[in-house]
Structure 1
């Protein structure tokens, strides 16, 4: 079993966060269905995302990006410490 480096894990996390944030932004920007239909006839399109869920997803992606950045920083500090010890 191969263990990924902190840099690789952090980079994958940043890419995932960017992808999630992009999708959440697209979902928030989609227009809402018009309210002209009668209440009994108004059915919500299954493909239409919920704006609240999209905003929560954007916030989640932001936190994932912050955590991934901390992983990269910790890995960098650890490598720096190892280099200082060996030199």
Structure 2
């Protein structure tokens, strides 16, 4: 089993967060169903759930990005500390 470096994991997490946020943004921006449908129409309820899911996905991607940035920051600090000890 190959273990990725912290830098590679952080970078991959940022890329995943960016792509997830892009997809969530696209899902939220989709046009709403036409107003001609009745309020009791089940497809309107499904559309509302999809928008909520997309917003939750956007929030999840945001948190993933923040965690990945913290991984990169910690990796950088650790490397800096190791270099200071060796020099």
Question: TM-score, normalized by length of structure 2?
Answer: 0.86
Instruction: Name the structure 2 match of 1:68.
Output: 68
Instruction: Name the structure 1 match of 2:19.
Output: 19
Q: Which has the higher helix share?
A: 2
Moved over 2 A (4+): 37-40
Question: TM-score, normalized by length of structure 1?
Answer: 0.86
| Higher alpha-carbon deviation: 64-73 or 49-58 | 49-58
| CA displacement, residues 32-71 of structure 1 (integer Å, 9 cap, x when unaligned) | 111313456x3428x9571111111111101100000000
| Higher alpha-carbon deviation: 8-17 or 48-57 | 48-57
